[in-house]
Amino acid sequence: MNWQSITHALLRIMTGFLFVPHGYQKLFGLGGAGPREGALPMVAASIELVGGILILVGFKTRWAAFLSSGLMAAAYFLAHAKDGFLPLLNRGELAVLYCFVFLFLWAHGSGPISIDSMLENRRR
C-alpha cells in the first residue's frame, strides 16, 4: 500500500461521508431544516444520500460519482450561477468542488481500499 492509494481512499471516503448529510437533510430534515418537497429535490436528495453512501464504501463508485458529478454541475448552474458566474460571488464553491472531485472518482474509480476493489480481486 502506498501513499497514493491511501490518499485516494481518504478522498473518496471523506467526500462520501460529507455528501450523505446533504441528501439526508433534504429527505428527512436535519439541523433545523425540514424536509424539502417536490420531485426535483427528492431526486437530488436520493442521489446525494444513496450516491454518497456508495461512494463512501466504494461500491459502484464510478456510476455513483458520475451521477453525483452531474447533479453538482446542475446544482451550480440552476441554484448558484443566477447570482453571477464566479463561485466566490455566488457561494457555489462547494458544488463546483464536489463536481470535480466526483469527476476525479469517476475517472479513477474507487481505489484499492473499497468494495469494488475487493470484488474485482475475488473475480480474479
Asked if the model's pLDDT at residue 108 lies above 80, the reply is yes
Asked if the model's pLDDT at residue 103 lies above 90, the reply is yes
CA 62 – CA 54 distance, rounded (Å): 10
Q: pLDDT grade, residue 28 (50/70/90)? A: confident
Any bridge partners for residue 30, and if so which? 33
Is the pTM above the cut of 0.85? yes
CA 116 – CA 97 distance, rounded (Å): 24
Q: What is the pLDDT of residues 36-49, one digit of tens each?
A: 778 888 999 999 99
What's residue 82's pLDDT? 92
Q: What is the mean pLDDT of residues 42-63?
A: 97
CA 122 – CA 124 distance, rounded (Å): 5
